[in-house]
Chain A
């Protein structure tokens, strides 16, 4: 029998046992959808992470108070300027540290930042958001954020703020526009810029921030952000800064009370964390795909049993072993293919919905929102894998069917 005729008969078999075929297909659908969704979401998170960190530039260093020993130090500002928890004594970053940094050869700019949560209200809608006080003279040159509307903070600015994209669009009952006034801790601030991101943050001149963020002391900073002149000298600069700060703060390597981190370190740490989480989830999804494969094998074995007599008839009227083998293999491959195709569609839909359900982009490892990326490669791979799963699961039943003796098969009831 010609190969396409075998395919036609296999298709007929799938269509004539609709319910069982569909039940089997569902098994594959779940596996493939899970793999596609996880791979796409992880891909999107990875891309978002990379763009954020690449956006940060390799020329940015972050100094935070405190030093964690015996573990990874997450001293970066993206994690809230923490990192000081491991030291018992309250340590601070001060003007002196800023002066030391400014005196370091490869340091181009230093931004001083403090951060805290404040109460905000706009058109009688209240809330609590994170506010960051920045040195407005340098912030626009150091920040990785971009402006969607309006402008960054200016050195002469007083009582003005730049707000995150989400705070502007959906946080309050009505969108906040440029030049509109938001009340923060009872004081009024005019919005001069809206960032091109999905955050609910507020940025304001650091002098203003000292006045409104609770428990902040003038000239004590949460984070110092450094922009280097030459990012190729990253390691040398980090060592240089470390030595100079240790000298000025009168600490040794054993008593070090500050941390320096670079974008490159953060990228590596987060990428490693993301890929282990992804690998774990993909492994879980793969298990469901294997369960799906067992389902296909089960269906094929049942199908061979059920069709034993038909196989006998076909052999009696001239079917060769290879015809029977091909028909059953095509049958299981088709189940795999249809399962894979539907799985891709459902996985694609899940990839679209899940990131926003998880929390509007507050997914760990990928702040600021991201879109899952369903790549052509992953789709082709999913189809190939699901057809492969179908074929592998169908090989033994199909082989058994092809080897049935016509006389025994005809006698089967």
Chain B
């Protein structure tokens, strides 16, 4: 672990999330309070339906809580407009999805460039950065390939490059190895660990796989929408 500090980068305070399913209200998260420290590698684990994806969506500013507050870098996101949230997401959080979620009509290069276009980065610098990122994930020779012309592992690497494009402080990975074979999954976790250790990224990973959780420094276990356990490895572990 490189830059784990005591500074809180993301905080959920008394957060509730209730979904309306027809006439029935389903509470996905119940009174969650959790702090994520800058530079931590957090695994959120739990069985299917435990509320981990909901928590991930809230942490990623993709959704707003029914009750409670969420602070990202000390800013209360629950009171932000959709445009402010979009800008904050783009700058601060990089997403790695289980199904990669690349835009099929765009090449690997264009997919990685997209976040920088939304953030209106200077074109020349943006292109140089994308080239560099694709080189880092080992896809220099595939930059013009569309997602359908890439293997699952390659697509996930493009997705990692995309998540890093705007140099975000937080990487949110939702079951990142879910669609990969074990070797490719292992490579991916090593890549995330490297980003955590060498670049000081805060990594939040949602997974049901306890083996993957071993890579994390902090583990939060959810059950029925509540945190049942929070475990932190001791320093040097």
Contact = CB atoms under 8 A, between A and B. Distances in A.
A41 B48 CA distance: 69
B5 interface: no
B115 interface: yes
A12 B106 contact: yes
Given A407-B57, A407-B63, A318 B118 contact: yes
Interface in A295-321: 309-310, 313-321
A75 interface: no
A395 B103 CA distance: 23
B20 interface: no
Given A318-B118, A320-B118, A405 B95 contact: no
Interface residues of A, number: 23
Interface of A: 1-2, 5, 12-13, 16, 309-310, 313-323, 405-407, 410
Given A318-B87, A318-B90, A405-B63, A1 B103 contact: no
B6 interface: no
Nearest to A316: B95
B91 interface: yes
Contacts of B102: 313
Contacts of B166: 318
Contacts of A314: 103, 114, 118
B101 A319 contact: no
Given A2-B120, A314-B103, A320-B82, 12 more contacts: A1-B120, A2-B117, A12-B106, A317-B90, A317-B114, A318-B166, A320-B83, A320-B86, A321-B82, A322-B83, A405-B63, A410-B101
Interface in B86-141: 86-87, 89-91, 95, 97, 101-103, 105-106, 114-115, 117-120
Interface in B191-206: none
- Ranked 6 nearest A-B pairs via Cβ: A318-B90, A318-B118, A407-B63, A16-B105, A320-B86, A317-B115
Contact of B62 (A12, A13, A310, A406): A406
11 contacts: A313-B102, A315-B89, A317-B95, A317-B118, A320-B86, A320-B87, A321-B83, A321-B86, A406-B63, A407-B62, A407-B63
A313 B86 contact: no
A315 B82 CA distance: 10
A321 B81 CA distance: 10
Contacts of B97: 410
Interface residues of B, number: 26
Contact of B101 (A309, A321, A323, A407): A309
A188 to B, nearest CB: 78
Contacts of B101: 309, 313, 316, 410
Most buried by B among A309, A310, A318: A318
Given A1-B118, A318-B118, A407-B62, A13 B87 contact: no
A1 B117 contact: yes
Contact of A317 (B82, B83, B162): B162
Contacts of A320: 82-83, 86-87, 118
B60 interface: yes
Contact of A323 (B62, B63, B118): B118
A88 to B, nearest CB: 79
A309 B162 CA distance: 17
A322 B118 CA distance: 11
B62 A319 contact: no
A322 B83 CA distance: 8
A314 B97 CA distance: 13
A318 B119 contact: yes
Nearest to A12: B105
Given A16-B105, A318-B86, A410 B62 contact: yes
B60 A316 contact: yes
Contacts of B57: 407
Most buried by B among A16, A309, A317: A317
B163 to A, nearest CB: 8
Nearest to B82: A321
Contacts of B106: 12
Given A309-B101, A313-B103, A407-B62, A319 B86 contact: yes
Contacts of A406: 62-63
A410 B91 CA distance: 19
B64 to A, nearest CB: 9
A313 B89 CA distance: 12
